[in-house]
A and B are shown apart, each in its own frame.
Chain A
Amino acid sequence: MNANSRSFRFSAMGCPCEVKLEGADDDVLQRAAKAARDEVERLDRKYSHYRDDSLVAQLAACADAGGDMHVDDETANLLDFSASLFEQSAARFDITAGPLTKLWDLQSARVPEQQRIDAALAHCGWQRVRWNRPHLHFSTTGMRLDLGGVVKEYAADRAAEKCREARVSHGVVDLGGDLAVIGAHIDGAPWLAGIKTPHDPARPLATIELQRGGLATSGDYERAMIVDGRRYSHIIDPRSGWPVQSFASVSVLAENCLVAGAAATLAMLFGVEEGAAWLARLGLPHLCVDTQGNVNGTLA
């Protein structure tokens, strides 16, 4: 049987994306890849906080004025999910930490002053948002919503689903290291995902086999900022306004990329000790690497 194996690369959500597909009919693969890419780009346009025409920018405009907004189904589902993560993480996972994210913009390579952190904190806090599906109400002005913590993994799952709908059953979607499996290789072999070694990106730390489901990695080894010899991750604890002193990276395997990503992010937010205990209780296969390079977890 003639089987095609195709790899489609593009750039979206601020990271390199790849859709790998296998199937007998090349036309089917091309169409599926296009549908997957269109879906990722749609979500990028809609939720990106780097683009002015995005939904988040509209939400920002509304939040500025301190008003009401009616959101669509998809956004409502993402908000419901985020609200649940806020509760499960005891307020560490907070999509209103937008002002803090903006403040810690890693490209400027500067640690912000405490005054500015305090000012940003005054405009954060999911408890300051009134969410009654489908209405969002900001009671404080100057708030921002950042759905980046869930949209990339959601997009990976959606892209995989688009491929399945386009009748492709073998493939994997890779959005900057967050993976959603469409189906194992045609011969039944699993996809192999390499977890990078922090501080040594060229050397794979571990190779994980994926038959189905999703794999997500939360970590600072690619996006950390080093100022005066001190490492600042891009994961901010919204209760203090400062980056979390946590693992160098956490990878989690789950039924889908969304749950894997939420678990990895929550583990990072909990910090090394509480995070490791939480992951053990969670019961999903996982891998954690701390800043000293020690590797732990069920996939280690």
Chain B
Amino acid sequence: MSASKLSPSLAALMGAAAALTSAAHAQTAAEGGTTVGYRFNEYGEDSFDGAAIGSRERYKVYSQQFQLDTRLPNNAGLDVTATHEVMSGSSPWYVLRGADARPVQVLSGATIREHRNELRGSYTIDPGTASSTTYSASYSQERDYRAGALGIERSIPLNAALTLGTGASLSHDIIQPTDAALYDRVRHEEKNTFSAFGSLAWVIDKNSVLQAGVQLNHEDGYLSDPYKLVSVGSDILPDHRPGTRSNAAVLLRYRHAFAHPDAALHLDYRYAQDSWGVVSHTVDVGWYQRLGQGWQLIPALRYYSQQEARFYAPFFGVDEHRFFSSDYRLGTFGAFAASLNVRKRIARWEFSGGIERYHAAADYALGSADSAVPGVLSYTRGFVGLDYHFD
């Protein structure tokens, strides 16, 4: 029965029943019991194309993850994830002003394999309900970097159709760059990050949910990249960014469940702006299709556009510059990503796999491309996973 054909009394009945019959925000399948999972991820950047010096083989990351998700007595849940990553490959180092003022990207030599370990945990009271509280903590470590974070999130129902979400987190990062003496890098630096968010989720009817949220972020400390350099006139100086960065983002999420094709549509839009002058837009569209026999297919598309930071340029002239960086991640560029994920459930097992292809270019940005972004990249990412559920 289409919405336009509902009589007023039926619309009233169905509207009143919405919160009790909502399929759009149904609880996760593992209501009781425990799920353990394994994921293998591969991330590989395309080799560098364009004027370059140094190894063109860019970054590759292989990671393995183990996850445990279990229900505890007294209506609580515990989720623990352990990750081990192996990273190798070269990355953009600095940009030279080449002939005709065209940028020439200098890449670092391919590094030896680096390892990163991370442990994340969260404890939730009343999981899967509209009034849940989650406490989380994480710790990550690699040869030159350590980070620890704590967070709290709370969900508060305002009425049958509206839920308020709030959260805050704090993290502390320490960087001790490798080969610091050899390349005259900083020896030991730290930074603190504080973030908070507020969101409202509105159950429109039993098939749709709309969520609007605001995120605020503030970083303080050493925010430059110690492994990057910048051409300033005829000098090559270390990357130098401000000591603080504040960021605000607004996001909108829409979820709609369809009974006939047994699928759900996910639409997300995010707008962000920060004190460095970076403005970004992100649009995500995903289609979650159940195919029967325990199969689920999820194609998705993403578009991202970013305007550069005030102090970004591939290279700088001899004038006084307080801050400067030629890190492509601060430049003007746009990106498209397409992905396809598959899930198949057989008894207590769930197999999953997916592939994503991402392509970024200065021309894809909304608005004009102010400066070249020679380091901008494309990548392919794939994963396979296995989950086992037991009561």
Contact = CB atoms under 8 A, between A and B. Distances in A.
A and B from one assembly?
Answer: yes
Given A256-B21, A281-B7, A73 B129 contact: yes
B101 interface: no
Contacts of B27: 165
Interface stretch (A8-16, A80-88, A195-203): A80-88
A284 B158 CA distance: 31
Given A80-B159, A258-B20, A88 B347 contact: no
A82 to B, nearest CB: 9
A169 interface: yes
B345 A77 contact: no
Contact of B157 (A76, A166, A255): A76
A73 B9 contact: no
Contacts of B9: 88, 278, 281-282
A161 interface: yes
Given A73-B130, A80-B160, A133-B159, A212 B13 contact: no
A283 B129 contact: no
Given A161-B26, A167-B294, A255-B206, A81 B17 contact: yes
Interface residues of A, number: 37
Contacts of B29: 165-167
Contacts of B6: 283
A252 to B, nearest CB: 10
Contacts of A165: 26-27, 29, 31
A76 B129 CA distance: 12
A159 interface: no
Interface in A249-300: 255-256, 258-259, 262-263, 278, 281-284
Given A73-B131, A133-B157, A169-B292, A258 B347 contact: no
B129 A282 contact: no
A154 interface: yes
A162 B206 CA distance: 16
A151 B299 CA distance: 38
B255 to A, nearest CB: 17
B20 A78 contact: yes
B112 interface: no
Interface string A134-155: 1000000000000000000010
B82 interface: no
Contacts of B347: 25, 27-28
A157 interface: yes
B16 interface: yes
B26 A76 contact: no
A212 B21 CA distance: 14
Contacts of B160: 76-77, 80-81, 133
A27 B349 CA distance: 13
Interface in A105-161: 133-134, 154, 157, 161
B237 interface: no
Nearest to A214: B21
Q: Which of A28, A73, A133, A165 has the most CB of B within 10 A?
A: A73
A85 B157 CA distance: 21
Nearest to A84: B16
A183 B6 CA distance: 23
Contacts of B7: 281-283
Contacts of B376: none
Nearest to B348: A27
Contact of B14 (A133, A154, A255, A281): A255
Nearest to B8: A281
A72 B129 CA distance: 10
B344 to A, nearest CB: 11
Q: Which of B13, B27, B130, B157 has the most CB of A within 10 A?
A: B13
B12 interface: yes
A283 B13 contact: no
Contacts of B31: 35, 162, 165
Contacts of A35: 31
A284 B5 CA distance: 11
Interface in A161-188: 161-162, 165-167, 169
B182 interface: no
A85 B12 CA distance: 9
B19 interface: yes
Interface string B1-39: 100011101101111110111010011010100000000
B345 A259 contact: no
A278 B27 CA distance: 35
Contacts of B1: 255
Contacts of B17: 81, 256, 258-259, 262
A167 B345 contact: yes
B92 to A, nearest CB: 46
Contacts of B346: 25
B181 interface: no
Nearest to B294: A167
Interface string B279-304: 00000000000001110000000000
A255 B13 CA distance: 11
A81 B161 CA distance: 11
B259 interface: yes
Nearest to A258: B17
Given A133-B159, A212-B259, A255-B206, A77 B19 contact: yes
Given A77-B160, A133-B157, A284 B20 contact: no
Given A88-B9, A165-B29, A80 B157 contact: no
B10 A157 contact: no
Interface string B154-180: 000111100000000000000000000
A24 B345 CA distance: 13
Interface of B: 1, 5-7, 9-10, 12-17, 19-21, 23, 26-27, 29, 31, 129-131, 157-160, 206, 259, 292-294, 345-347
6 contacts: A73-B129, A133-B157, A165-B31, A262-B17, A263-B13, A282-B7
10 nearest CB pairs, A to B: A84-B16, A80-B160, A283-B7, A77-B19, A165-B29, A77-B20, A256-B21, A258-B17, A81-B16, A73-B130
